Chains A and B, each alone.
Chain A
């Protein structure tokens, strides 16, 4: 059984910030303002990170890549 007074580890704080910490461990936060403050700060930064968008290269990127790719012919693969 886990001691409820034991502070959360760095990894547990990350799990809590993502809503993934087991409830039994999360109970510690009800009584520990130190871990709660740390968890809230961590949650804010993780939230900003997970909301970052993917960017797209300019149009025609795939064509520019494929112009330099040698697609093996079926006969090449049959030789393997």
Chain B
């Protein structure tokens, strides 16, 4: 099965072959998890979002249209999950005094940022090691929209056209995002070397 095309494996999955579902997970768990991890920069959360992505894709496999690349479909769903999470997070963590939705003093306390009260867990150590290099930190400073474009372009090797289709963005926007992202990365990396 590992030599079959994605389209063939999806066809087998649609026929109810459990092994075909597992093959799709095997093929895409690392690329999808890597994209999400670099987007949200938290191992456990990235894994939750990856799991959510695969469950959505595999349970909706009958709606998959074979004229599109399977990888584009799964990356589209993964990226949407990451962007939705980051938008929610930016709303919830804007204030040190608690989430804007907090109405009572108790809710404000419960949702406020507590600086310096958290010990580093083993997973934090993994994150620091994996995402601690200069290039990974520079990627983490990019706007999420730039980040997904640059990762699909240079880590996954997608063409501009494929990225535009995957992220449902105009081709010109994708080119602009990637150009700006690389400029910003160059700036961050050159600052580091100075």
Contact = CB atoms under 8 A, between A and B. Distances in A.
Contacts of A66: 18, 21-22, 25
Residues of B contacting A: mostly: helix
Most chain B CB within a 10 A radius of its CB, from A42, A53, A68 = A68
Helix, strand, loop or mixed for chain A's interface?
helix
Interface residues of B, number: 39
Contact of B182 (A42, A62, A77): A42
B89 interface: no
Interface residues of A, number: 32
Given A54-B31, A55-B130, A68-B55, A61 B47 contact: yes
B185 A50 contact: no
A72 B26 contact: no
A51 to B, nearest CB: 9
B29 to A, nearest CB: 6
Contacts of B30: 54-57
A24 interface: no
A74 B15 contact: yes
Question: Top 4 A-B pairs ranked by shortest CB distance?
Answer: A49-B154, A54-B30, A62-B25, A65-B54
